[in-house]
């Protein structure tokens, strides 16, 4: 191998190392940006992009609710016809990777009281399962800012695991 060939091999080797280092730097930057973007996502961002998807929502007090995600907000989910306040959710199976832009308005910004009124309007009787596992059945009466009357009992929203048609 002549002098010129050795220099050419050395420069080719150095160029290959530089290209490899640039590729690693790019991979590291993409990974870092991806982690930062994931860190900005709220559960509401992921759920807003999952409407229609089959989910299994594990709740405190009511077990697992399975069905299509019909609607969602920052405060509640509607899985099939079952309303689940966010405070009752323990885990969700079946979420895909899609998400809406972080901080974008969820499909529904309505409070849980609005969803409870709509459910009561559409169904003469509902079953409320509470976080302690008890159930209350009856018509939806007065719906306040933080509670609903079902079957003559005032139920704070924070105590409800699920609310569904009877």
- The predicted-structure confidence for 49-108, as pLDDT tens digits, reads as follows 888 999 999 999 999 999 999 998 888 999 999 999 999 999 999 998 766 665 555 455
Contact between 42 and 36 (Cβ < 8 Å): no
The percent of residues above 90 in pLDDT, for the chain, comes to 48
Matching residue, tokens 């169904």: 123
Q: How far apart are the first and last CA of the chain?
A: 88
Alpha-carbon gap, residue 59 to 65, rounded angstroms:
8
pTM higher than 0.85, yes or no? Answer: no
Give the pLDDT band of residue 132 (cuts 50, 70, 90).
very high
Give the pLDDT band of residue 11 (cuts 50, 70, 90).
confident
């Amino acid at each position: 191998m002549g002098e010129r060939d050795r220099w050419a091999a050395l420069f080719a080797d150095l160029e290959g190392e530089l290209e490899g280092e640039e590729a690693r730097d790019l991979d590291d930057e993409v990974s870092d940006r991806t982690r930062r973007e994931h860190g900005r996502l709220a559960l509401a961002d992921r759920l807003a992009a999952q409407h229609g998807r089959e989910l299994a929502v594990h709740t405190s007090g009511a077990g697992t609710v399975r069905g299509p995600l019909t609607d969602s907000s920052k405060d509640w989910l509607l899985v099939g016809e079952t309303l689940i306040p966010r405070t009752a959710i323990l885990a969700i199976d079946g979420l895909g990777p899609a998400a809406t832009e972080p901080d974008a308005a969820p499909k529904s910004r309505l409070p849980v009281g609005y969803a409870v009124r709509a459910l009561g309007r559409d169904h003469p009787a509902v079953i409320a399962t509470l976080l302690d596992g008890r159930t209350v059945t009856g018509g939806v009466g007065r719906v306040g800012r933080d509670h609903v009357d079902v079957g003559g009992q005032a139920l704070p929203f924070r105590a409800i695991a699920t609310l569904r048609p009877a």
